[in-house]
Structure 1
Amino acid sequence: MKPTILAGLAACWLMFSPIAAAEAPADPNAPSTFTLDNGMQVVVVPDRRAPVVTHMVWYRVGAVDEAPGKSGIAHLFEHVMFKETENIGPEEFTSIVQRLGGQLNAFTSWDYTAYFERVHRDHLGRMMELEADRMVNLIINDDPEGPFISERDVVKEERRQRIENNPNALLQEQVLSTLWRGHPYEITVIGLMDEVAALTPEDGLEFYRQYYSPENAILVVAGDVTEEEVRALAERYYGPIQPTGLAINERPWRSVEPLTESHFLSHSDPKVRQPVWSRYYLGTSQRRNYEKALALEVGLQVLGGGLTSRLYQALVEEQKLAINVATFSWTTLHDEGPAVIFGTPVTGVTLEELEAAVMAEIERILEEGFTEPEVTRARNRLAASAIYQRDSQASMANMFGAGKVLGWTLEEIKAYPDDIRRVTPEAALAAVRAVFGPDRHFITAHLLPEEGGF
């Protein structure tokens, strides 16, 4: 399965407790949560528009948890989980779901690993049976054609295609490694080639025993179900699984240290058709500083969030120096992520000239400040986007699963649209000024069509 690295997208711990609705809602159609006796947390998100359910299992393990020298094992394990168990033959997991008319996949991030199936509501029990089976009965051996070693080769090829054969991805990997140097996020989720190649079945077994246990998992079911139906099925299929108790309660998250100096990185490749200039600053995260993160999201939306943004209008429409220019930030990781400015110049304009023009415009904008109408538009756009996501059952399952893994309550997860609408122009401006301030170090990156080009 191919991972989805969410830079956003984003990735919460619950103590063992008796089965109880810790956040029981008054509205029977509102999301609710309870915990099984073995420590597995369950989230139910009713959605009765069609007789369909999205069944997800989120594990509190990602690239951030990998031991030194074992990069890529969380992502590799995502692949291995689809192979074979003591009860299900090779590739049979996927074929069972597809024969039932369902869809399935999985993804790994720095903060979590998640697996999902989307099927008719009548097949929810079968999905739980399949997921519960591979939580405890996965086959991992040293057979060269077996699940672990064969998928290790698949991941190596995936790295070649997705990273090493992709100039933009290769440069971004280098930039993020510099931004997060010394932090557990430093190594890319897919892992380093030599470390992935050295992973052994013994590494896989140890990883499986430590992290793939019910007390380290969150079950999310969104769709045409009630809490009572999900509770009965979860108790039947997941309830008998005994926790291993090996998962580490304290995850290795920690605040990212600011850059102590500015850096310049460049990468050229014949596959690059247009040069790209970008500048990376250390931003923040909703988990580290919620109010500042939301203010930064609004501020960057005003600054470079689309065709009507200040930077696009100035650099593309008016000065005609760039084909595009934009800003964005990763605020949905647990720890601080990057805040980025990037653009592509028109023919005849160098990256240095574009950089000077962009930074001069940013300096002018931050001196002038934001207006109330443009901040209102930015807030409404972000709030509407979050609300529209709830129109998708899969998006709701992802939203609540990622939120719970990162430690948010259901009410906090649902509050985002209202919270973003409360960001003031003063707060948005202050957040952008703090991140892009003249005293802040940054990483400049040039993606070039050919050696010695732009």
Structure 2
Amino acid sequence: MRSAFPNLTGRLALAALLLLLPATILPEKKMTPTFQTLLDRSRRFTLPNGLRVVFLQRGDAPVAALYLKIRAGGSDESPEDTGIAHMLEHMLFKGTKIQGTLDYEAEARYLEIIDRWAMKYDRSRRELEAAQADRAAPEKIEELTRRVEKWRNRMDLIQSDVAKFRVPDEDSLLYSLNGERGYNAYTNRDLTSYLVELPSNRIEVWARIESDRFKNPVLREFYTERDVVSEERRMRVENVGSSLLMEKFLEEVYGDHPYGPSLIGPMEKILYFNRPQAARFYQEHYGPDNAVIAVVGRFDEAEVKGLIEKYFGDWQPRKKHGSEKPGSKHDTIPEAKPQLRRVDVDVRHPGSPAMFMAWFKPPFPHTDDLKLEVLARILAGSEETRLYRRLVLKDKIAAAVNIYSGFPGERYTNMFFLSAVPVLPPQAMSDEAAVAQGYDRIEMAVFEEIERIVREGVTDEEVSRVKKGIATELVQGFQSNGNLADSLTYYETITGDYRDTFLNYDKLNTITAADVKAVAAQYLKRDIRMMGRLLPPPAQNNEAPANGEKEAR
């Protein structure tokens, strides 16, 4: 199943919530009466600079969720910039020419010097690394080491000195003083999202802070923050076996496809990020013509529209790269689809065993996308699903099994993705043969259940259970203004029209047991399954791969 909003959940939840609302509006697109009920409380407008805004009135409390998404994520990076979208998200919390500084004019002179010195520091580090790799003479390595230390010391001194101008976390303080909840941001492969919830009479505070953030970023503290991001990678990826397996798995199955590279970036890229590089990515992707705002809650629409026009209206669009509206279904270069093939990826790293099985599938809004979501929820996600009953309860060969349909993004070809944790005695955890046998047993059982569906189909009761479960889950989840705002901005960003969410809900009710059987036969084949396995580190010998090294079988 999809793990969280706003994927399928975002797509269907608003529609499920419609049952609670009255209706009158007649939109441009043909909708069922159910969808008209929600549209009565939502509307969209576009500023002259291309910024799209969606309003949705709900609830009685005078609070609002305010979400802004940029259609720029990991899939928009060049090979040289892998990880820079996530790094830029960090930097946009470092203030502007107005926020986070006591004297920007004085600070700016320091920032220019820091950029120049950082280039010299990074060049000296590269020269030292090359000399060490080439096994240069000891005196050469010693000379280069001294040069690195000189520039490191200079960087430390000037960054310590420039701190006298800074006001750390001024935006967080302002939001806290005005009653914020959930102030945060996230980057994925498709987009970057900035979010907060505030009392409705404090929306002007949001408009001031966020418009300034996106119009006047400074990217201060860049070179100290890249150390923070490198440590984040070390803790969350390199020290976590399942995360490292995920990264290597995606690299192998996707290759040069936009979903292949690491989202946070490889360490060798992070350690050499520079401020002009992040500024270039910002200039190419951050603009009102590539952004969407949603305001959800109880608020004065005329007043908030005026605030958005006042504060965001002079945000300058990016230089045009084409005639299509960003976020439309036609604004991307045709995808070079990943190759359908059988893939095996092994990663050796300490940690609890983990395995992945995956098959490529078309993304939303392809007609098979939702059918595969229903299949995913019949197979896994709760105690009454087929794989849970087989692997966990009956055979007792897995501690957990989950399926995510639509991973790792929805702008391009994605995956029907299964993860499982084998049950092994403690003494077998370091035994490669025993761990591999555990994975083999799970794979065999998974295919037996898939092929049973291909032969016999699923029952009408299973399909009905999934539909009812989705409706219940979504109504409960979208009692939150934040979840609604996340969903509205997500689909306005991905497809160019947030109402695609509503159209898709009707499709759920048309899915039959025969549809589910058909997509199982079409997509979940043995000869195109892709597998990733986490294996224990090998015994020390000259031929064994190092921890974390990827192996193909």
Q: Same fold (TM over 0.5)?
A: yes
Q: For 1:421, what is the secondary structure of its paired residue? A: helix
Instruction: Give the percent of matched residue pairs that are identical in Structure 1 and Structure 2.
Output: 29
1:258 aligns with 2:339: yes
Q: 1:218 is matched with which residue: 292, 296, 320?
A: 292
Number of residue pairs the alignment of both structures matches: 428
Instruction: Name 1:102's counterpart in structure 2.
Output: 180
The CA distance in 1 between the partners of 2:443 and 2:222, in whole Å, is 47
**Pair 1:151–1:225, CA change in 2 (3 A):** same
8 Å CA contact retained: 1:311, 1:325: yes
Q: For 1:285, what is the secondary structure of its paired residue? A: coil
Q: 1:303 is matched with which residue: 359, 376, 379?
A: 379
Amino acid in the other structure paired with 2:283: R
The CA distance in 1 between the partners of 2:402 and 2:4, in whole Å, is 19
Instruction: Name 1:194's counterpart in structure 2.
Output: 268
1:292 aligns with 2:368: yes
Q: For 2:451, what is the secondary structure of its paired residue? A: helix
Instruction: Name 2:479's counterpart in structure 1.
Output: 391
The CA distance in 1 between the partners of 2:57 and 2:216, in whole Å, is 30
Once the 2 structures are TM-superposed, how far is the Cα of residue 409 of structure 1 from its aligned partner?
2.4
Once the 2 structures are TM-superposed, how far is the Cα of residue 162 of structure 1 from its aligned partner?
1.1
Amino acid in the other structure paired with 2:208: E
Once the 2 structures are TM-superposed, how far is the Cα of residue 32 of structure 1 from its aligned partner?
0.9
Instruction: Name 2:528's counterpart in structure 1.
Output: 441
TM-score normalised by the chain length of structure 1: 0.87
Once the 2 structures are TM-superposed, how far is the Cα of residue 26 of structure 1 from its aligned partner?
8.2
8 Å CA contact retained: 2:6, 2:486: no
Structure 1 residue runs of 5 or longer lacking an equivalent are 12-20, 141-145
Instruction: Name 2:208's counterpart in structure 1.
Output: 129
Once the 2 structures are TM-superposed, how far is the Cα of residue 160 of structure 1 from its aligned partner?
0.9
**Pair 1:350–1:222, CA change in 2 (3 A):** same
Instruction: Name 1:160's counterpart in structure 2.
Output: 234
Instruction: Name 1:16's counterpart in structure 2.
Output: none
Q: For 1:43, what is the secondary structure of its paired residue? A: strand
The CA distance in 2 between the partners of 1:338 and 1:28, in whole Å, is 32
**Pair 1:59–1:318, CA change in 2 (3 A):** same
Instruction: Name 1:346's counterpart in structure 2.
Output: 423
Q: 1:75 is matched with which residue: 86, 89, 99?
A: 86
1:329 aligns with 2:417: no
Once the 2 structures are TM-superposed, how far is the Cα of residue 419 of structure 1 from its aligned partner?
2.5
Q: For 1:69, what is the secondary structure of its paired residue? A: helix
Once the 2 structures are TM-superposed, how far is the Cα of residue 319 of structure 1 from its aligned partner?
3.0
8 Å CA contact retained: 2:453, 2:517: no
8 Å CA contact retained: 1:54, 1:116: yes
Q: 2:509 is matched with which residue: 421, 431, 449?
A: 421
TM-score normalised by the chain length of structure 2: 0.72
- CA RMSD between the two structures: 2.6
The CA distance in 1 between the partners of 2:71 and 2:261, in whole Å, is 18
Once the 2 structures are TM-superposed, how far is the Cα of residue 338 of structure 1 from its aligned partner?
1.6
Bigger helix share: 2
**Pair 1:254–1:441, CA change in 2 (3 A):** same
Once the 2 structures are TM-superposed, how far is the Cα of residue 372 of structure 1 from its aligned partner?
0.6
Q: Which has the larger radius of gyration?
A: 2
Instruction: Name 1:36's counterpart in structure 2.
Output: 47
Instruction: Name 2:251's counterpart in structure 1.
Output: 177
The CA distance in 2 between the partners of 1:253 and 1:171, in whole Å, is 29
Once the 2 structures are TM-superposed, how far is the Cα of residue 216 of structure 1 from its aligned partner?
1.6
Q: For 1:339, what is the secondary structure of its paired residue? A: strand
Instruction: Name 2:281's counterpart in structure 1.
Output: 207
Deviation string for 1:302-327 (max 9, x for gaps)? 12232101122123223333333343
Select between 208-217 and 30-39 the one with higher mean Cα deviation: 208-217
The CA distance in 2 between the partners of 1:253 and 1:169, in whole Å, is 30
Larger RCO, structure (CA 8 Å, separation 6 or more): 2
**Pair 1:206–1:247, CA change in 2 (3 A):** farther
Amino acid in the other structure paired with 2:415: P
Q: 1:59 is matched with which residue: 70, 76, 80?
A: 70
